[in-house]
């Protein structure tokens, strides 16, 4: 069993839970996920099976698309609804549509984020959420992120009873982006506490919700047919963001065991290229400034 399986992760379970369950359902240990989803977030979770696990880093490199809601009026320890309330306003002046749109637009582009304490980022060998649960604070590393699109998708709703304002959004972002932190940073522009109140990942690794399968569906298919071969997608999808170079037999035989591509025949066209032979993806090569040629970076198949 080998390939990529886009899974629809429901709320209430971790990404590791999905991997654990799939190992049992598929009767195989070589299963990994690309891009952690928090328990309270649902959506696309790309799963790699068998040799396709070598493609996980490329799946993670691809951008992601989210839809969700931001609520103004209070903040929490986790920057979403799972945490304890740490600040709230007693009288909220609702933001106008124009103010919301301008605030979202200001967060588009290249930004620097500080990961939330309740996150899986490691500092000195420990996850940040381990520090947070122990009541400890630690300096968090800054991270670069790119927000390609951050747009409002609904009319804002003001709740006079709770003194909160909520609106829906769509965000197209680079890897490593924390949407929770985006929600908090949005509120900070107006000196307002805020949280990410709902989130769904619509796309990840180039896969969408429309082509994703639930764990229940996978289990049913395995019971009916004993396999999910028709659902497994090729490694090609994981590296579709790179230019593809088809090698003839003589060149493939020359480079398949770790030799670089002849620079006179294959000059630099991008940092990475996908090597194919007989219409099959074989490996990813990366440009070496020192060697002035493409060198093997990750090999999927060398036969």
Residues annotated as part of the active site: 38
Torsion of CA 221, 224, 227, 232, to 10 degrees: -30
Helices (H), the chain: 15-26, 56-61, 97-106, 128-133, 179-188, 215-225, 249-255
**Could you tell me how many residues make up the chain?**
303
DSSP string, 115-135: --SSS--EETTEEHHHHHHTT
Are the C-beta atoms of residues 266 and 259 closer than 8 Å to each other? no
Cβ(129)–Cβ(120) under 8 Å?
yes
Can you tell me the distance from the alpha carbon of 225 to that of 233, in angstroms, rounded to the nearest whole number? 18
Q: Which residues contact 179 (CB under 8 A, 6 or more apart)?
A: 66, 68, 171, 173, 196, 199
């Amino acid at each position: 069993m080998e390939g990529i399986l886009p899974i629809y992760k429901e709320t209430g379970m971790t990404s590791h839970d999905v991997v654990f369950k799939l190992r049992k359902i598929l009767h195989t240990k070589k299963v990994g996920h690309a891009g952690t989803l928090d328990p309270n977030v649902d959506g696309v979770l790309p799963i790699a099976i068998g040799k396709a696990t070598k493609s996980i880093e490329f799946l993670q490199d691809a951008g992601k698309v989210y839809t969700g809601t931001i609520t103004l009026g209070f903040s929490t320890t986790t920057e979403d609804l799972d945490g304890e309330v740490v600040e709230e306003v007693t009288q909220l002046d609702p933001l106008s549509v124009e103010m919301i749109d301008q605030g979202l637009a200001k967060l588009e582009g290249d930004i620097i984020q500080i990961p939330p304490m309740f996150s899986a980022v490691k500092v000195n060998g420990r996850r940040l959420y381990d520090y947070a649960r122990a009541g400890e604070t630690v300096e968090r590393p800054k991270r670069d992120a790119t927000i390609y699109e951050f747009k409002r998708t609904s009319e804002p709703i003001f709740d006079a009873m709770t003194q909160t304002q909520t609106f829906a959004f769509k965000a197209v972002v680079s890897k490593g982006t924390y949407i929770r932190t985006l929600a908090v940073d949005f509120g900070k522009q107006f000196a307002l506490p805020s949280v990410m109140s709902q989130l769904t990942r619509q796309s990840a690794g180039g896969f969408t919700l429309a082509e994703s399968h639930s764990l229940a569906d996978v289990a049913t298919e395995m019971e009916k047919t004993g396999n999910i071969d028709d659902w497994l997608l090729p490694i090609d999808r994981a590296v579709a963001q790179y230019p593809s170079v088809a090698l003839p037999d003589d060149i493939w035989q020359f480079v398949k065991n770790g030799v670089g591509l002849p620079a006179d025949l294959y000059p630099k066209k991008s940092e990475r290229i996908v090597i194919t032979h007989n219409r099959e993806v074989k490996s990813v090569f990366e440009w070496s400034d020192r060697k002035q040629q493409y060198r093997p970076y990750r090999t999927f198949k060398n036969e």
